[in-house]
Structure 1
Amino acid sequence: MPQMAPLWWELMYMLFIITYIMMNIIMFYGVGSDVYVRLSAKEKIKYMNWKW
């Protein structure tokens, strides 16, 4: 059996997964959904201006 990963690596991994899930929840169900929509629209405009 290979040596187990250090504790800090496991904690970082768990923190990453929890943050990812929380961001998904906030994006789709949370109070910040319309802020996210506005920001994504602004990013789309910026991307189109950069692309053309």
Structure 2
Amino acid sequence: MPQMSPMWWETLFIAFIMLFIMINTLIYWNQKSQMKQQKGMNKLNMNNWKW
């Protein structure tokens, strides 16, 4: 018969994985929105440049 880990280990592991995925998703969307804002700012800045 295989050994089984305690149920609270499995619960902690699943909670950790879900938290890890959620944090990475939030970081991804945050960086994506910051890039979008920077693109808009670059376009505004490029309209005013002169030689």
The TM tier, using the shorter chain, reads 0.5 to 0.7
Aligned length in residues: 32
Consecutive unaligned residues in structure 1, runs of 5 or more? 38-52
Q: Provide the TM-score with structure 1 as the length reference.
A: 0.53
Tell me, yes or no, if structure 1 residue 14 matches structure 2 residue 14: yes
**Alpha-carbon RMSD:** 1.8
Shift in Å, 1:2: 3.4
User: Which has the higher Rg, Structure 1 or Structure 2?
Assistant: 2
Q: Percent identity?
A: 41
Report 1 or 2 for greater relative contact order, CA contacts < 8 Å, sequence distance ≥ 6.
1
Q: Provide the TM-score with structure 2 as the length reference.
A: 0.54
Consecutive unaligned residues in structure 2, runs of 5 or more? 35-51
2:24 aligned partner, one-letter code: N
